[in-house]
Amino acid sequence: DSEERALLIERSQTVIRQDFANKLSIALKEADETQYWLEILLESNIIDDNMFSSLNDDLKEIIAIITSSIKTVKRKEQPIKE
């Protein structure tokens, strides 16, 4: 029946969006950890201020993109109607 098929498709798309949101959340945690390691590298004089600044700016952009993507995916999540 076409109604059942439509429900299965909707359910599948919801699971895919939830899985994608979970993967983005993991990426965000990894970016946060990267921030910590950048600070360690700077404090240990392994990288200089210019390198830290450049990498930190890039990281901030990545975090902004991931955060925006998470918000978009969550906004598009819809409850399944049965």
78 conformational bin, left if phi > 0, alpha if psi -120 to 50, beta if neither: beta
Contact 13, 76 (CB under 8 A): no
Q: What is the gyration radius of the CA atoms in the chain, in angstroms?
A: 19
Contact 69, 24 (CB under 8 A): yes
Q: How far apart are CA 4 and CA 35, in angstroms?
A: 47
Single pTM value for the model = 0.75
Q: Identify the pLDDT of residue 76.
A: 78
Q: Identify the pLDDT of residue 81.
A: 53
pLDDT 10s per residue in the chain (82 long)?
788 777 777 777 777 888 999 999 999 999 999 999 999 999 999 999 999 999 999 999 999 999 999 999 888 765 555 4
Q: Identify the pLDDT of residue 59.
A: 98
Task: State the DSSP code for 81.
Answer: P
